[in-house]
Chain A
């Protein structure tokens, strides 16, 4: 394969690829992202290959393992082209039926289709599924069509045409101006205008500059960048090269979290393939522009997602953030101008160059342009990656796309922005997603993590959870963060264990102010947010824990007790058998009683008691009723005559 040494050569090669592909030929796309692999996609892919070989259909049907289309909870996901029939939770056992029914007889296998939880209707096409129907998948749409190990798939979808356009028809300043005009704001959390950041680097006098992809994605609950990097790595590479061209940089770095081994593998492969095609390296497409990119893995530190800490890690040191008094786009990696942007930000760049800034500004709101990918997880019916235009309300995301709360539970709060963000309650659900609106409500949009919580989630525990996370992930250099979080964690843990005292909330507020005002970096400055937002909207829960030693969500282990209601227990004996602490006393036709001394609060009895009895209850804030007398424990079953 000779290097493509001009934009014309690229176009010719692209046409060559397309001419060899028949859009009408059936293609079975199986998601091979980390989520579906965990659900068994490898076995499904193997099963398809084996079945197709068995039926002698190799020439008639293509199969490919593709990037993540985001509907991870229903994986393995299979989409059959050209009809776009979407099958969910496919197992190797389903494969022969799919081949014989759908491929051979063009019939749909109903039971594998998405079923609307409310209407019971089946959706055949991916675009009919309520989860997908209300999304606008400008960035993610290609994932299911691309085998990320094959650059030709990306080229077949117009890949690298933006790069060709930028290098041959635009000057570096033209590219910069287009990105500025688009108002693209960083998708990593801070939302800084990308064009302005790029301009600062372009104008800095130092000749050697860097462009960096932040693929650390440390926010727990967020996996948008994983899907993009695994599923469509070339889109990020293309954006990065265009960015390098715009600011005058010849060297790029991609910092990937080591917890994403598949993403590391796929991006490394993509780089090799791009180099082989002449889309990376020296004299790209004959333009005279050189650009090389290097991949660095993270080593398990959330703080390295902070831009200055990331640069310090790239230098081979511990990820300690630096003060931002001199901006890193002027003095960053190795004290040189460095543009660091999030994966999703880079992925938007080729689209802006190809479609124009005006196209981009038509999507979204006044201050937040374009789409945003969210990872909608937690207590929600349709879990997965959701790409929507900025300005859509939280309510629409959670109910129209997410399908609401499962198991008939009540919505309580949605947590956005990861450990830097906050919880948003029901009354604020009509807020529009964007960079500024959520901040006013005490949270932030962040990198896109959106964790839905229901009535069983204790909000004090949520605050404790995030502070606990940060005590471990803090770099430990500055006092307000290291020591402030240490004390906040101790106080919050005490509160969840029933040891809270009057004055705790005020002390937590003082510590919060110190961290917000005096911390070295954004980790410390935003660390109190989960506490402050849960206090703002759920103060009653804090007060119940402190004053009444009661957990309203019936969640905090130290504050709940399990109790078998003698009016409902029919001595089926299941809890007795399953109790790991052997804490239940009972027998045939004898009402069961939990020995509170032996009970470890594991909750097994609560889960296994058959719903038609529902005899196990959780009690908090009041004493457990004493056991009923022995003689009352005998159950006399009514005979059919007496009823």
Chain B
């Protein structure tokens, strides 16, 4: 395992080959905001909150730290005017869906995000994907999945599997930043779970 040295926010950080910039930052106690990241799951790169500036060989670009692999002599900056502006907008876009989410609320305080900047949306799912990925990668039950694409994308329980597995599990429930997951489960249970007579 070869060691790689990079610089994050002016601090020299030791990392190993194959590590992500986020993991390297966390190991050095440098915090980068995340929403869709979970240490037990493969990195998703969906929320884009962990975006950072990465400079290598004279070129600077914005990269998503939960996915970007560390490089020797990489210079990383986790805050800047542009980064903060982008994070603020991302939060405001998500607050349009889930204005009362505690996780979003805390982050909104840090970045000055205004939950009323955009018109409210009907669905309070923010598509972090934690529920779907946890059920697929950790529990390996695939009881909940995505449907459709674009602005119509949603999560959906598979009634036949959920009716058998979920009541004894529910490990994904605390992962949901907005409680949409719990609401979706209750609705699915009420409407389409196969009845015991089937």
Contact = CB atoms under 8 A, between A and B. Distances in A.
A453 interface: no
A121 to B, nearest CB: 50
A474 B63 contact: no
Contacts of A510: 85, 89
A8 interface: no
Interface residues of B, number: 35
A471 B151 contact: yes
Nearest to B82: A517
* Interface residue SS majority, chain B: loop
B48 interface: yes
Given A475-B149, A479-B94, A482-B150, A511 B67 contact: no
A477 B132 CA distance: 13
A487 B67 contact: no
B149 A485 contact: no
Contact of A480 (B48, B68, B148): B48
Contacts of B121: 486
Given A325-B68, A477-B46, A487 B63 contact: no
Interface in A293-310: 301, 303
Interface of A: 301, 303, 318, 323, 325-326, 470-480, 482-487, 489-490, 507, 510-511, 513-514, 517-520
B185 to A, nearest CB: 21
B86 interface: yes
B90 A480 contact: yes
Interface of B: 44-48, 51, 62-64, 67-69, 82, 85-86, 89-90, 93-94, 96-97, 117-119, 121, 126-127, 129, 146, 148-153
A480 B68 CA distance: 18
The listed residue with most B CB atoms (<10 A of its CB), out of A301, A477, A485, is A477
A482 to B, nearest CB: 6
A544 B37 CA distance: 45
Nearest to A511: B89
B48 A482 contact: no
B103 to A, nearest CB: 14
A325 B65 CA distance: 11
A415 B99 CA distance: 39
17 contacts: A323-B64, A325-B63, A473-B149, A476-B150, A476-B151, A477-B127, A479-B90, A479-B93, A479-B126, A482-B151, A483-B93, A487-B118, A507-B117, A510-B89, A518-B51, A518-B86, A520-B48
Contacts of A477: 44-46, 127, 129
B46 A487 contact: no
Closest 10 CB pairs of A and B: A476-B153, A483-B93, A474-B150, A514-B89, A518-B48, A486-B151, A471-B151, A476-B149, A476-B150, A477-B46
B149 A301 contact: yes
B70 to A, nearest CB: 11
B116 to A, nearest CB: 13
Contacts of A483: 90, 93-94, 96-97
Contacts of A476: 127, 146, 148-153
Given A474-B151, A475-B150, A513-B85, A520 B119 contact: no
